[in-house]
Each structure stands twice: as structure tokens, then as C-alpha cells.
Amino acid sequence: MQKIDLRKIDLNLLILFDVLMQQGSVSKAAEQLGRTQSAVSHALGRLREQLGDPLLVKVGGRMQPSPYAMELEQEVRPILRNIERVLSPREAFVPNLSTKRFRLAVPDLAMGLFPRLIRRIQEDAPKVTLDWETPRSATLLDVAEGMLDVALLPESLKRPDGVAAKVIGQFEWACFMRAGHPALKAWSKESWVTWPHVVVGTGDQGRSPVLMAAHDAGLKRRIGLTVPTFGAVAPLLAQCDMIATLPTLVLADALETFGLSVRKVPFHVPEMGHVLAWSARLTNDPASLWIRDCLADAVLGQMSSADRLLAGLNKI
């Protein structure tokens, strides 16, 4: 038999062929398909012409398949079932039954962020596993490739093709120091310049907004210590006379624990937008939607704590 040109084949006719093979009757196939008998007979005629084979012949009141039809049915039926499976609506992600492992890239921005997230995970999906890493230079490429499920990143970072993102919020800034710090007596730009600062090394994640804003204001920060993580800042501030200028949500829930005080930055530092980023091909994936929602809730909860802190600052 000559090679068939698929461009000339109406693949819908294969569905009709499958039903005819199951029913062995034009009338029963027409009833199942919701079509008239003449329409089914006409469609069968078209398929016979396209494939160059009689396919089904009426013998004793029942349609009998040709050898080629029997061979074709064995090949076509699984293909149709696979197409049906692929195009069917996606099964819902069931958190409490899932054992999926999710990989997140999130800076250790705040003491309460991951506890908030873990509480949600344990309540909704106790068998799920989280792998937490801090963002690095290759994070966005890992997101694009689907090697990371979601990342929390500065909005200013250039995102490669294949990465989808949603703005999660604008982070505002404040200055933190121990309660009783000498700078609290007369907080000013001069205080900010005079006292040494603890800064968090951000590697290759871009220039510090504080550094750029201070430069624009004609000020220079005196760095006393650079630490690798945000989590190291609060205990250090509690034991020395250094200052840290950070997004408010970083230490919003650490003030009481470590006996810290907070003041407004004595010059304007623009808010720093952050986004949740994920692989664009996973945009509608139920599991991806779920973990993004969980992380968004945790970040927004942390931002609410920061908003309360800012409300208090406005009264100072």
C-alpha cells in the first residue's frame, strides 16, 4: 500500500472508524455519535477513499472489518486514547495527598517568613517536601528550565525568556539598631553617616538601592561588617552599636525578640519591588499554582507585619 499523506486525511474520520469497529453497525455508530446514518455512511465512504481500502463490509447484517481495518484499529485506538488523555482537563492537585518535592529560591528576608510558609504547608500538605535555597546568579536560568518551582526576586532583575512573574509587593526601608543606641538621642543624616553599618552581601544580585540613594543624597555609609545572610543581622545589632538599613519586613518581627529600635531612613530610598518568578510553561500547572499561592501568602503576611511597623514609625 502506498504511503499516506496525513495532510489529506481528516483525522476526525478515525474517531468515526473507531466507533464503527466497536459497534459493527452504521446505525448503532450513528446513534452513539449523534449523527444520521447517511452522514456516517458518507464519512465511511470518504475514509475508504482516503485509505484505499474497503475497511468495513456488510456481511449478514453486520459490518465485517477487512484485514487492514483490523490492523488499523490496533494502532488507532491507543492513539485516540492518548490524545483524549492529553487534551482532557488537568487533574486537580490534591495537597493533602501529594508527596511532591518543591524547590524554592527565597532570600532569608525575615525570621517569620519561612515559619509562616511551613505552617501552611504542614496544615495543607503534610507529605510535601520543600528544598529552600538562596537566590544566586543562575537562579533565573534555573527557573526558566523548571529546575526551581518559584523564586522571590527583585523586580529590577532582567528576566530571560521562559520566565513568568507577578509583582508581590514593594519593600520599604528603615534603619535598625539596638535599643539604647547613642544615635537614637538625635537621629539624623549625620548619625547615619557617623555610626558603622552592618550590611548583607548580595553577591551579584545588583547594586544596593541604599548605596545608590545615599550617593544621590551626597552621603557615604561607613561599613563595619558584611554578613552573608539577613538572619545574622538582628543578633549582631543587639550586641553592638552598629546600624542596619534594611527593608522593614526583614526585622519587623525581630524588634522585641532582640531588643531593637527602628527609625526612618534620614533620606529617600526608593521602594524595592519584588516578584514571584516561575517557569512560564508551568503557569497553569495546579501544583505550581498551589506553591506560588502558599509563598505569596507567607510574603504578604510578613509585609503586613512590616506595615504595622511603618505605622508606628510615622508617629515618631
Q: 245, 186 in Cβ contact below 8 A?
A: no
One of 3.30.70.1110, 2.60.40.10, 3.40.50.150, 1.10.10.10 is the CATH number of 6-87, namely: 1.10.10.10
Q: How confident is the model at residue 3 (pLDDT cuts 50, 70, 90)?
A: low
Q: How confident is the model at residue 120 (pLDDT cuts 50, 70, 90)?
A: very high
Query: In the predicted model, what is the mean pLDDT of residues 19-30?
Result: 84
Check pLDDT > 60 for residue 203.
Answer: no
| Average pLDDT in the chain | 87
The region of weakest confidence among 11-15, 210-214, 261-265 is 11-15
Q: Is 3.40.190.10 the CATH classification of the domain at 95-170+273-308?
A: yes
% pLDDT > 70, the chain: 91
Q: How do residues 43-73 score in pLDDT, each as one tens digit?
A: 888 888 888 888 888 887 778 888 888 888 8
Check pLDDT > 80 for residue 316.
Answer: no
Q: How confident is the model at residue 1 (pLDDT cuts 50, 70, 90)?
A: very low
Q: How do residues 264-306 score in pLDDT, each as one tens digit?
A: 999 999 999 999 999 998 999 999 999 999 999 999 988 887 7
Give the predicted TM-score (pTM) of the model. 0.69
Q: How confident is the model at residue 83 (pLDDT cuts 50, 70, 90)?
A: confident
Domain boundaries for CATH 3.40.190.10 within the chain: 95-170+273-308, 173-270
One of 3.40.190.10, 2.40.50.140, 3.40.50.720, 3.40.50.2000 is the CATH number of 173-270, namely: 3.40.190.10
Q: How do residues 149-178 score in pLDDT, each as one tens digit?
A: 999 999 989 999 999 999 999 999 999 999
pLDDT recorded at residue 70: 86
Check pLDDT > 70 for residue 28.
Answer: yes
Domain boundaries for CATH 1.10.10.10 within the chain: 6-87
Q: How do residues 173-200 score in pLDDT, each as one tens digit?
A: 999 999 999 999 999 999 999 999 999 9
